[in-house]
Structure 1
Amino acid sequence: MNKKTVLRAAGLALGAGAMLASAPAFALSATTTGSKLTTSSDEGHKIARVYDTSADSRSAKGEYERQASPNTIKNLWNKSGNGTVVKSATGSKIAKGRACRQEQAAPDSCGAWKFN
């Protein structure tokens, strides 16, 4: 091998090692038409945020379950309008969640459950 090839291989190995050593920041993110629910690993997945993502005169809602209260679904409503976000109080880690949209004279429509 020539010197250039050796240096290139060493650079690739260092880059790969740096990527493996860094801690990834994962977040729970669930969406449906008009609504998005997120948590952040920076906050230990202890706060839920609900974004209203559509100017459709319908409220956005997040449904979530905390580790400390299994089988208890909490609702976080965002009735503030398109482009706004509301956040929950801090609690135990959010184990699962889904985004929902208020429907007029019908059950709310919700996306799939996402898990931390």
Structure 2
Amino acid sequence: MSAMSGRSVRRTGFAAFVALVLGLGLGSTQAWAYYAWNSDDYAVTYNSDTQVKVCDMEADTNAVEAEYWRNYASSSSHLWDTDGAGPDNCKYSGTGNAVYKMRVCEQRFAEPDSCGSWAYRP
């Protein structure tokens, strides 16, 4: 390889590296979501964590709830999928401040609700 072509390869590699770093650095908005689970039922954030979707994945007649906290809120919010019809039956919240923690609960007849662990915004 000549000295000229070697420099060209190094420049091209360096330019690709710079483009990658700048692309990662400039993309400051979150490009992923986070999930909370309870058995097969789940909740997920989207739209930069400003909205929540809760999905009942079991056809067991039990209602499913996403309980979540938004930044600057003084109390939690609740999003219910009440029909218990599953699978992949989802309800969607409106927008608001970013959700920083959430969990999924399943309402059970004549028993305490079953709740999964809290999931926190990364």
What interval of TM-score do these two structures reach, taking the shorter chain for normalisation?
A: 0.7 to 0.9
Say how many residue pairs are matched. Answer: 113
Gaps of at least 5 residues in structure 1 are none
> 2:31 is matched with which residue?
25
Gaps of at least 5 residues in structure 2 are none
Contact kept in structure 2, 1:100 and 1:111, CA below 8 Å: yes
Contact kept in structure 2, 1:33 and 1:54, CA below 8 Å: no
List 4+ stretches of structure 1 deviating above 6 A: none
Change (3 A) 1:21 1:67: closer
Contact kept in structure 2, 1:30 and 1:112, CA below 8 Å: yes
The two structures have a TM-score, normalised by structure 2, of 0.72
Across the aligned residues of Structure 1 and Structure 2, the Cα RMSD in angstroms comes to 2.7
Which has the higher Rg, Structure 1 or Structure 2? 2
Change (3 A) 1:92 1:19: closer
Alignment of 1:22-101 (within 5 A): 23=27, 25-40=31-46, 42=47, 44-70=48-74, 72-80=75-83, 81-82=85-86, 83-101=88-106
Amino acid aligned to 1:108: D
Amino acid aligned to 2:57: T
Instruction: Report the Cα distance in structure 2 between the residues aligned to 1:90 and 1:13, rounded to whole angstroms.
Output: 36
Identity, in percent, stands at 27
